[in-house]
């Protein structure tokens, strides 16, 4: 058996070595050509060499963009195959004339990026391989120095526009000594138009402003009749342009032919059409006199069936009659109304009335009011108590009403019931076949806007997508012969967005639990005392706040960042009530997560860092010193520490979960602290139409610990800096990703590079004594690898 394992490893290592050797070969040696013109030069390769004073990221960006400016007949239709090889199919016939056109395209692009002194040199080589005449085209580019911005001025003919421009000049994209590019100029012109349209100038567009760029040096305007002095000035200017080129930029206003373009517009009447059909023509609706009409001040709702009330419409409208027209509030209103599930389409049309008034017409197409779904799920559980072959069958029913009480309130009712069957039980008795029965009923209401219990809060108009959430859920689980659990949970909270930031605050969260321990569970706890903490009975009265921020890189748009912070506090006030002591948990839990991904032409590098800690400060001897297990952290599975099975890592370097448990049946590990870091390099293997096959190389590092020592547990379960390196687990692996556009199936294989519970070699794997399984001191065989099946990317 040991010989077979070693032979498997030798085969695996040989295959891995062969792949490394292949990858170390040049890309050209791993490329083959199909459907090429025989005995005729064709484009086999193109390459750009870029020189200049760039940052690393700037050079990557320029090189990536320049590849798009080869003439079409010089582009190479190269496809990656199986991650190592490349295929060129139907290459173009080579024509040297196209090199000059490519140089023109590339030079124009560099000019747009502010490189006006670039020198482009091209050449090509021809290699003959059998009947293939392969042509490689090379473009060598010396970009020169990037033009920088010197002085920035605003020269508007209208005094009010000039005052606005100067007042907001600190927000300009044009900064002295910063690199010049046409994109920066375009961004600044867009900012100026947005500034004016935010301040009532509804008719101003990009056609009304332009950028005047002055590349001349003021020394040239100095009056001199001395030809030698003039020649000296010209020489100095030419030298300065080459060594430190900079330009002056003036943002100017074009001459206005239509004076109404400079009118400041105000909001007039608001007309809502909340029952618009998708086939209706807005112009016809505006003149239709058959509508019924409700009026509230200067706001009108025109309808025929009366399906909606005024409140949700006014709640998410950020302007009113008399306000100066503000384009930001216009789009904010359209987005807020579009987020309401009661409507599937929102169209807001401004119409000019009189000299400077904008009436706003809202055409809103309702979504299907009610929907009902039924799902059937099946799963297999191999980590439950006392049995190892459970088949779970669950039915989920969901009812969704998107317009409760005509106020665009969304109501979601759910019902879930299921059983777990011991399909390989040696007994045919019914009580042995049926292992678990569960039932759960829930109801959630999503209210538009923020429901305020007291006086109106300030600043609500500055936030977006405002929602109030209330939910209640009840559940019952009967684990035959072991326990019965009843729970009732309810929460009330607020959800909103502000820019790239999302917030969720729950001031009230109540979770009530009741556990009936049956004879089989009592016997199991007697044999395994450390399991007692997992079945402590207590309830939760808490509040929580979560914050999520997602951004794209300002310098590199292919870099995405995600940050999350969540805080939950339980029992802070209610824990002082004598009647509740010993019945509710008192703890503080904090978790933070950071994710980043950088996309390249054919690959992606992603990493994730996670840290979580929960501290039970109640000191209650009845409930115990740890968090309730359903609030604790766990590691392992398809999305966390993939070399370990679900919830099978930890705690620390303690092997108590494996040595003390009867028949090794209950091995789920939960802790009060978790640290984890994941890194993954993703790349594409093959593409078949819209179906993509990819792969990844990854590493996972982390573990789970307790902060306090629970009863009947050893000290190795606690976090300690002295044992931090010993406790850290490391897994490495690879996998396949099958991307079908609308969803992704992931198959990952991972090996335990370092296992804290491995007694030999300080937990590290050994090449010399490689094995697929580790034999623990008590004789239990634990796999050193895991095969994970997941849906979607792990992070």
For 475-494, the pLDDT digits (tens) are 998 887 778 889 999 999 99
Residue 100 pLDDT greater than 80, yes or no: yes
pLDDT, tens digit, 9 for 90 and up, residues 492-522: 999 999 888 999 999 999 999 888 888 777 7
Predicted pLDDT at 163: 95
The dihedral sign for the CA sequence 456, 457, 461, 465 = negative
Q: Could you tell me the residue ranges of all domains in the chain?
A: 2-142, 148-260, 265-366, 632-795
Distance spanning both ends of the chain, measured CA to CA: 38
CA distances from 638 to 28, 203, 685, 732, 782 (A): 37, 54, 21, 13, 18
Residue 629 pLDDT greater than 80, yes or no: no
Instruction: Identify which of 565, 573, 566, 570 has the alpha carbon closest to the alpha carbon of residue 586.
Output: 570
SS3 assignment, position 672 = coil
Averaged pLDDT for residues 66-89: 81
pLDDT, tens digit, 9 for 90 and up, residues 717-751: 888 888 899 999 999 999 999 988 777 888 999 99
Residue 424 pLDDT greater than 70, yes or no: no
Share above pLDDT 90 across residues of the chain, in percent, rounded to a whole number: 47
Q: Which residues fall within 8 angstroms of residue 159, CB to CB, at 6 or more apart?
A: none
704 - beta bridge partners? Answer: 674
Q: Rounded to an integer, what distance in angstroms lies between the CA atom of residue 464 and that of residue 447?
A: 14
Instruction: Identify which of 687, 701, 716, 680 has the alpha carbon closest to the alpha carbon of residue 790.
Output: 680
pLDDT, tens digit, 9 for 90 and up, residues 187-240: 999 999 999 999 999 999 999 999 998 876 544 444 445 565 656 655 665 565
Q: Rounded to an integer, what distance in angstroms lies between the CA atom of residue 678 and that of residue 562?
A: 14
Band (428; pLDDT cuts 50, 70, 90): very low
Across all residues in the chain, what is the average pLDDT?
A: 84
Predicted pLDDT at 479: 80
Residue 790 pLDDT greater than 60, yes or no: yes
Higher pLDDT, 1 or 211: 211
Predicted pLDDT at 337: 95
The encoded tokens of residue 392 equal 């779970």
pLDDT, tens digit, 9 for 90 and up, residues 158-184: 999 999 999 999 999 999 988 888 899
The encoded tokens of residue 29 equal 């040696």
Predicted pLDDT at 547: 96
Q: Which residues fall within 8 angstroms of residue 27, CB to CB, at 6 or more apart?
A: 86
Residue 244 pLDDT greater than 90, yes or no: no
Share above pLDDT 70 across residues of the chain, in percent, rounded to a whole number: 84
The encoded tokens of residue 351 equal 């119409």
Predicted pLDDT at 689: 73
544 - beta bridge partners? Answer: 506, 568
Residue that the structure tokens 């320029």 belong to: 62
Predicted pLDDT at 527: 66
Q: Rounded to an integer, what distance in angstroms lies between the CA atom of residue 659 and that of residue 652?
A: 15
Work out the angle between the directed axes of helices 159-167 and 182-198 (0-180°, nearest 10): 120
SS3 assignment, position 558 = coil
Instruction: Identify which of 276, 258, 134 has the alpha carbon closest to the alpha carbon of residue 204.
Output: 258
Predicted pLDDT at 670: 82
Averaged pLDDT for residues 430-451: 85
Phi then psi for residue 773, to 5 deg, are -130, 150
Collect contacts of 35-39 with beta carbons under 8 A, ≥24 apart. 35/89, 35/90, 36/88, 36/90, 36/91, 36/132, 37/91, 37/93, 38/131, 38/132, 39/131, 39/133
Residue 27 pLDDT greater than 90, yes or no: no
Instruction: Identify which of 106, 184, 47 has the alpha carbon closest to the alpha carbon of residue 555.
Output: 184
Averaged pLDDT for residues 340-344: 95
Per DSSP, helices labelled H in 48-93 are 56-66
Q: Rounded to an integer, what distance in angstroms lies between the CA atom of residue 594 and that of residue 311?
A: 39
Predicted pLDDT at 669: 80
Predicted pLDDT at 3: 38
Band (529; pLDDT cuts 50, 70, 90): low
Band (36; pLDDT cuts 50, 70, 90): confident
Band (30; pLDDT cuts 50, 70, 90): low
Residue 349 pLDDT greater than 80, yes or no: yes
Predicted pLDDT at 106: 95
Instruction: Identify which of 160, 155, 189 has the alpha carbon closest to the alpha carbon of residue 172.
Output: 189
Residue 660 pLDDT greater than 70, yes or no: no
Q: Rounded to an integer, what distance in angstroms lies between the CA atom of residue 15 and that of residue 37?
A: 36
Three-state SS string over 516-578 comes to EECHHHHHHHHHCHHHHHHHCCCEEEEEEEEEEEEEECCCCCCEEEEEEEEEEEECCCHHHCH
Q: Which of 44-58, 240-254, 279-293, 299-313 has the lowest mean pLDDT?
A: 240-254
Predicted pLDDT at 584: 85
Predicted pLDDT at 270: 97
Residue environment code for 604-618, b if the CB has 16+ CB neighbours within 10 A, otherwise e: bebbbbbbbbbbbeb
**Contact present, 632 and 671 (Cβ < 8 Å):** yes
One of 3.30.70.3000, 3.40.1000.10, 3.10.20.310, 3.20.20.70 is the CATH number of 265-366, namely 3.10.20.310
Q: Rounded to an integer, what distance in angstroms lies between the CA atom of residue 550 and that of residue 503?
A: 12
Predicted pLDDT at 720: 86
Enclosing H/E stretch for 109:
helix 97-112
Phi then psi for residue 155, to 5 deg, are -130, 80
The dihedral sign for the CA sequence 625, 630, 632, 634 = positive
Work out the angle between the directed axes of helices 182-198 and 97-112 (0-180°, nearest 10): 40
Predicted pLDDT at 257: 85
Predicted pLDDT at 341: 93
Averaged pLDDT for residues 436-440: 90
This model's pTM is above 0.85? no
Band (28; pLDDT cuts 50, 70, 90): low
Band (383; pLDDT cuts 50, 70, 90): very low
Predicted pLDDT at 208: 94
Predicted pLDDT at 29: 62
């Amino acid at each position: 058996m040991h010989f077979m394992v070693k032979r498997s490893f030798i085969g695996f290592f040989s295959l891995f070595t062969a792949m490394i050797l292949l990858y170390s070969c040049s890309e050209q040696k791993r490329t083959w050509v199909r459907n090429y013109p025989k005995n005729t030069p064709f484009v086999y390769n193109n390459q750009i060499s870029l020189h200049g004073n760039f940052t690393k990221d700037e050079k990557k960006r320029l090189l990536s963009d320049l590849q798009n400016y080869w003439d079409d007949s010089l582009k190479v239709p190269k496809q990656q195959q199986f991650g190592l090889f490349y295929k060129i199919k139907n290459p173009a016939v080579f024509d040297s004339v196209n090199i000059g056109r490519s140089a023109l395209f590339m030079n124009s692009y560099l000019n747009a990026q502010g490189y006006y002194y670039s020198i482009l040199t091209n050449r090509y080589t021809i290699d003959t391989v059998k009947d293939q005449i392969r042509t490689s085209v090379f473009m060598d580019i010396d970009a020169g120095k990037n033009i920088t911005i010197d002085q920035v001025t605003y020269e508007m003919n209208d005094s009010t526009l000039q005052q606005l421009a100067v007042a907001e000049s600190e927000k300009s994209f044009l900064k002295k000594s910063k690199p010049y590019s046409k994109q920066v100029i375009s961004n600044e012109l867009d900012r100026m138009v947005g500034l004016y349209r935010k301040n009532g100038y509804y008719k101003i567009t990009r056609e009304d402003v332009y950028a005047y760029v002055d590349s001349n040096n003021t020394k040239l305007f100095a009056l001199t009749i001395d030809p030698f002095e003039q020649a000296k000035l010209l020489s100095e200017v030419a030298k300065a342009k080459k060594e430190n080129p900079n330009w002056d930029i003036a943002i100017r206003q074009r001459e206005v032919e239509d004076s109404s373009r400079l009118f400041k517009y105000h909001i007039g009447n608001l007309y809502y059409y909340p029952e618009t059909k998708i086939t209706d023509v807005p112009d016809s609706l505006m003149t239709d006199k058959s509508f019924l009409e409700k009026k509230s001040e200067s706001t009108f709702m025109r309808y025929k069936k009366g399906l909606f009330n005024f409140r949700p419409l006014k709640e998410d409208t950020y302007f009113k009659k008399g306000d100066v027209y503000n384009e930001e509030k216009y789009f904010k209103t359209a987005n807020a109304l579009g987020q309401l599930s009661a409507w599937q389409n929102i169209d807001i049309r401004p119409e000019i009335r009189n000299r400077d008034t904008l009436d706003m017409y809202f055409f809103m197409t309702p979504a299907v009011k009610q929907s009902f779904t039924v799902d059937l799920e099946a799963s297999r559980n191999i980590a439950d108590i006392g049995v190892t072959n459970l088949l779970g069958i669950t039915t989920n029913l969901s009812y969704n009403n998107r317009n409760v009480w005509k106020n665009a309130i969304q109501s979601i009712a759910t019902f879930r019931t299921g059983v777990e069957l011991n399909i390989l039980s040696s007994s045919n008795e019914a009580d042995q076949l049926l292992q678990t029965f569960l039932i759960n009923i829930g109801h959630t209401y999503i209210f538009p806007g923020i429901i305020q219990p007291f006086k109106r809060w300030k600043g609500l108009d500055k936030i977006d997508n405002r929602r109030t959430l209330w939910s209640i859920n009840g559940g019952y689980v009967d684990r035959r012969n072991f326990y019965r659990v009843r729970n009732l949970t309810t929460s009330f909270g607020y959800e909103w967005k502000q820019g790239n930031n999302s917030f969720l605050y729950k001031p009230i969260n109540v979770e009530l639990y009741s556990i009936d321990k049956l004879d089989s569970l009592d016997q199991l706890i007697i044999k395994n005392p450390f399991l007692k903490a997992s079945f402590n009975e207590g309830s939760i009265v808490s509040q929580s706040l979560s914050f999520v921020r997602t951004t794209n890189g300002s310098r590199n748009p292919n870099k995405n960042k995600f940050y999350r912070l969540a805080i939950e506090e339980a029992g802070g006030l209610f824990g002082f009530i004598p009647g509740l002591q010993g019945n509710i948990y008192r703890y503080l839990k904090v978790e933070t997560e950071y994710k980043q991904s950088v996309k390249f032409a054919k690959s992606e590098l992603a990493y994730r860092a996670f840290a979580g800690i929960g501290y039970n400060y109640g000191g209650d001897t009845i409930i115990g010193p740890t968090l309730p297990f359903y609030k604790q952290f766990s590691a392992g599975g398809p999305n966390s520490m993939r070399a370990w099975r679900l919830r099978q890592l930890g705690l620390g370097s303690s092997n108590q979960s494996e040595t003390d448990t009867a028949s090794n049946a209950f091995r789920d590990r939960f802790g009060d602290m978790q640290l984890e870091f994941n890194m993954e390099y993703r790349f594409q293997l093959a593409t078949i139409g819209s179906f993509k096959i990819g792969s990844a190389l990854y590493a996972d590092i982390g573990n789970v610990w307790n902060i306090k020592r629970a009863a009947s547990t050893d000290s190795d379960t606690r976090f300690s800096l002295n044992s931090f390196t010993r406790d850290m687990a490391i897994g490495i692996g690879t996998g396949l990703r099958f991307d079908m556009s609308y969803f992704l199936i992931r198959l990952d294989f991972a090996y335990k590079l370092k296992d804290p519970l491995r007694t030999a070699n300080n937990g590290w794997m050994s090449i010399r004594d490689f094995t697929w399984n580790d034999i623990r001191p008590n004789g239990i065989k634990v796999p050193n690898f895991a095969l994970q099946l997941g849906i979607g990317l792990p992070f």
